[in-house]
Structure 1
């Protein structure tokens, strides 16, 4: 669990460093961040379910149920993240530029949003594939 949280912090720090050094303008940067975010959120949900499934359900969840819960949670988090990107693009662009001289870019068009959600899901599916083996 600690490794997963540490990995998520690395994803966030990488995102901010990428914004500062303008690496976020490359097409692959945003895709890799969303893929890694989906991967590590799936890892976090897997460990959460592993710790709490006996306490909550008083029985073990089947693999399919567990994978559907993980995929649903990662998808939900991805959608919430896209809403957060939209709100950030509406409210934070000017204050960030005025305070830090960073030209922030938070959200693209519909294709970008769909691609971001797809990368989140592919990251989660990749974790589940690796965990299955």
Structure 2
């Protein structure tokens, strides 16, 4: 039998290459390890507790929390600390920073790249018409 992955990660299978990949950003690793310890390292007991209250152990952003983050971003010009105060106690500053750099920055960069492509096409069109 193959060894099981460490309790701090969730193993998923990529459909492309069928190799397992580890996903742990959405997990509260410290809380999971504490739970495993308090469960006397019984994975069955720990998994049962997790399945009863998964939101406690996962960092899942609700639609409302995303709206509050976006409103806070507009209001406080990107001050993540102030945005955190808008969200109250539902998310830690670590969660907010992680969400910002994983989801907001890539979207902004993609939009910037698309604008650059459009400008390059326009410039190429001007050059070709000369």
TM-score by length of 2: 0.29
Q: Which has the higher contact order (CA 8 A, sep 6+)?
A: 1
Q: Which has the higher helix share?
A: 1
Q: Which has the higher strand share?
A: 2
- Return the index of the structure with the highest Cα Rg: 2
